[in-house]
């Protein structure tokens, strides 16, 4: 029998063709980004009973035009050009609508990559509010065995704000780099299982520059944060997510986070959730830490994260200042420095949670962009979000 399976008809390739060595490449990513748990060990975090409502179409909004670098473009054309898989828009806390690509069913989970960092930082804010986690403490107060690593004289604040002077590069496409070894330790690449994530992190060394001076985007910092939270709370990340965030948030669908050989969560990039639930996180942040009438994270922490805290000078010394020229970075969230007061979380391959306080808009965008990082497209996405906020 030589006919195509339903899977092959939908995606254009067979399930057996998707492997650890290609799951982040197109076309396979159009399926794997929604099914990471079939490739990498993962912990599931249950939602409250009830489930999600039906999709609400964006309707005529899709035909509206936005002016981008290449000229006018309809909303739907840009969603397709930017390889969007799923989109949810909220206005004033109410659902404007959803959009899904043909290969992503409404209500499907999707990996959010480095927006996981922003979610993990929310846990840090919650534990800080409970008095069990000190963002100004030295890392070794919680992890004494980090003394001989780059973190030996770093503070938790350095970890939260990406100002650890870490001798490490995010070389996504170099199979021989330390980054590839890092991904093996997370079980994201073939050949993993001989070195745990925690063991890898403790081998990292520092640069000559003091900590705290320069924003350096280094994902290991955010995995270190997950371990710090576990040490401080004496609970695993999965339990923290469930107890402190997911159930209080009123999330409608299960989420998950990938884990390594020892069960250590990939808090830098391993979380998967639906666009609706990611939008709920954004709305909770827009509301100053409140969801469903319940305070989840202290208001002072949210204000510091999205408006007041962070060093503009450290941001300017980093390599991402072109994206947000007036920006800052605080607690693993980006302050965009725009007149709208917008802030966001960003993940590779086109994951975004965008929050616009002035226009009361939240946009969750999940994608399968072919390249991990596309600076030109990112600039268009920022303009698109600002324009879309004014439309709705």
Q: Which residues are catalytic?
A: 114
Q: Which long-range contacts (CB under 8 A, 24 or more apart) does 168-176 make?
A: 168/204, 168/218, 168/220, 170/217, 170/218, 170/219, 172/348, 172/372, 172/373, 173/372
Q: Which of 207, 209, 127, 138 lies closest to 167 in space, CA to CA?
A: 207
Q: Which residue's entry shows tokens 């489930």?
A: 51
Rounded Cα distance, 129 and 324, in Å: 29
DSSP three-state, residue 290: strand
- Do 220 and 182 contact (CB within 8 A), yes or no? yes
For the beta carbon of residue 376, count every other beta carbon within 10 angstroms.
9
- Do 390 and 356 contact (CB within 8 A), yes or no? no
Render 321-339 in DSSP notation, one character per residue.
Answer: TTTSTT-EEETTEEE---T
DSSP three-state, residue 231: helix
H/E segment holding residue 219 = none
**15's tokens:** 């399930």
- Do 162 and 216 contact (CB within 8 A), yes or no? yes
Residue 338 neighbours by CB under 8 Å, 6+ apart = 324, 326, 386
**Please, where are the H alpha helices in the chain?**
6-11, 29-32, 75-81, 115-129, 139-142, 156-160, 178-185, 197-201, 220-233, 237-240, 247-249, 275-286, 299-303, 312-317, 375-391
DSSP three-state, residue 295: strand
Q: Which of 334, 219, 203 lies closest to 266 in space, CA to CA?
A: 219
């Amino acid at each position: 029998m030589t006919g195509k399976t339903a899977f092959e008809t939908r995606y254009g390739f067979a399930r057996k063709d998707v492997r650890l060595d290609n799951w982040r490449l197109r076309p396979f990513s159009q399926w794997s980004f929604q099914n990471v748990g079939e490739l990498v060990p993962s912990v599931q975090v249950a939602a409250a009973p009830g489930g999600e409502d039906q999709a609400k179409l964006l309707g005529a909004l899709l035909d509206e035009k936005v002016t981008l670098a290449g000229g006018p473009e309809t909303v739907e054309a840009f969603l397709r050009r930017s390889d969007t898989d799923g989109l949810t828009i909220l206005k004033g806390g109410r659902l404007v609508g959803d959009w899904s690509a043909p290969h992503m069913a409404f209500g499907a989970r999707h990996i959010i990559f480095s927006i996981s960092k922003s979610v993990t930082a929310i846990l840090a804010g919650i534990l800080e509010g409970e008095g069990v986690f000190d963002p100004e403490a030295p890392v070794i107060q919680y992890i004494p065995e980090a003394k001989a690593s780059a973190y030996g004289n770093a503070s938790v604040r350095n970890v939260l704000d990406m100002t650890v002077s870490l001798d490490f590069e995010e070389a996504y496409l170099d199979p021989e780099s330390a980054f590839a070894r890092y991904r093996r330790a997370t079980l994201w690449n073939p050949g993993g299982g001989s070195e745990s994530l925690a063991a890898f992190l403790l081998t990292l060394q520092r640069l000559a520059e003091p900590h705290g001076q320069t924003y350096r985007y280094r994902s290991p910092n955010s995995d270190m944060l997950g371990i710090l939270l576990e040490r401080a709370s004496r609970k695993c990340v999965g339990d923290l997510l469930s107890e402190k965030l997911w159930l209080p948030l009123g999330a409608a669908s299960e989420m998950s986070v990938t884990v390594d050989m020892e069960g250590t969560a990939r808090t830098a990039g391993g979380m998967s959730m639906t666009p609706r639930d990611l939008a709920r996180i954004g709305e909770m942040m827009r509301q100053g830490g409140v969801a469903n009438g319940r305070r989840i994270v202290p208001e002072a922490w949210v204000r510091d994260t999205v408006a007041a805290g962070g060093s503009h000078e450290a941001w300017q010394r980093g390599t991402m200042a072109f994206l947000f020229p007036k920006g800052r970075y605080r607690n693993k969230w980006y302050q965009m420095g725009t007149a709208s007061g917008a802030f966001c979380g960003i993940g590779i391959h086109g994951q975004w949670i965008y929050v616009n306080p002035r226009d009361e808009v939240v946009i969750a965008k999940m994608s399968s962009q072919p390249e991990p990082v596309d600076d030109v497209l990112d600039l268009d996405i920022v303009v698109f979000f600002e324009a879309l906020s004014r439309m709705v």
